[in-house]
Amino acid sequence: MAVSTMVRSSAMLRNSIADAPASPLGAFERRPSWVASHHRRGVIFGEASEESFLGQSVRLAHSRSTGSVKRAGRWIVEAAATFDTQTKVARVRIGTRGSPLALAQAYQTRDKLKAAHPGLAEEGALEIIIIKTTGDKILSQPLADIGGKGLFTKEIDDALLNGDIDIAVHSMKDVPTYLPEGTILPCNLPREDVRDAFICPNYSSLAELPEGSVVGSASLRRQSQILHKYPHLKVENFRGNVQTRLRKLSEGTVQATLLALAGLKRLDMTEHITAILATDDMLPAIAQGAIGIACRTGDSKMEEYLASLNHEGTRLAISCERAFLAKLDGSCRTPIAGLAERTEDGCSFRGLVATTDGKQVLETSRKGSFSYDDMIALAQDAGAELISRAGPDFFKW
């Protein structure tokens, strides 16, 4: 497990090591390559290289928990978040996928933390750690065929639970409705534009595409809505990051594609957009355009940091949409869409479920107050209605 540590100064650490009592782990080698780190389960001892100790950050490559270790002599472990002029180490490790869009979202999170907490603006106070997920490794198959929800979050969740990272930055539409035990997701950044963008080099809209034209999309939600309104078109699984999809489009693999407008904005790539689809024409994915940040349960310091970034209006809207998804027990095999929006007099919600071929599309809507309990209730009610209308065999494919 990689763990960061903070000490008053390199000189004090060397003196402390020289004066350190025997470790409860057994014989404690008194050399500069041994350091101690504050951890939520107590104090961790581990071995770090001399080079990394004298550099800008200290990492414990092999660590073991000792439970409670008493201070003795000049052996001082600095639990508070402080830097000195000689040793600067990461205080918040930000876990993310490695795609350009995921990194853009992680950088946005980093910059917001710096702005909200001057102490985190110090060099080395924040570290971005890239974690490759199953969804990133397997690009040749539809998501539904390799496990569906959680493919872009599981390895990041594991790193969070293992203590390898302190917070995890996710695209909320990738996050399963049930979080792993031991984690919470208390923070949503302000939501970007929820709409989808139509991208095509030769035609200005889906309606203009000739019969038999292929639209590339990995999203069953997009595929079903396209086929429902334009049955003369074809859809094809089309995976990869934004740059990969645009390259495939330019090579003529497909005639058009749809991408989330939010991602194109965050990547500063809006020049590729042919048209922006109204939500009446293409209802967005659950939580589209929203970034969520998770931490470990009980990590009060991270919760404090994340509370300062949370946009409550976004959190409520996302909670509403995810409650609708949970009620439907939706997976990546189920085309589901939903959008909660704040209105002058409260909340407006629209939900949709469809068959994968687009031949059946069921929609519903609700209005209520813009409060957590009411929004969860109306979303669950909307989901129950669609389950009732769909019948027992609707979701079996």
Active site residues: 174
How far apart are the C-alpha atoms of 67 and 44, rounded to whole Å?
Answer: 8
- Residues 247-260: b if buried by 16+ CB within 10 A, e if exposed: ebbeeeebbbbbbb
Beta-carbon contacts of 393 under 8 Å, excluding residues fewer than 6 positions away, are: none
Query: Percentage helix, strand, coil, to 5, in the chain?
Result: 35, 25, 45
* DSSP secondary structure letters along 259-313: EEHHHHHHTT-GGG-SEEE-TTTSPPPTTTT-EEEEEETT-HHHHHHHHTT--HH
Amino acid (one-letter) located at 25:
L
Nearest CA to 241 out of 221, 264, 213, 273 is that of: 264
How far apart are the C-alpha atoms of 231 and 274, rounded to whole Å?
Answer: 21
Nearest CA to 94 out of 130, 119, 124 is that of: 130
CA atoms within 13 A on the CB side of 113: 28
Do the beta carbons of residue 117 and residue 56 sit within 8 Å? no
| Angle at alpha carbon of residue 258, lines to 257 and 262, rounded to 5° | 140
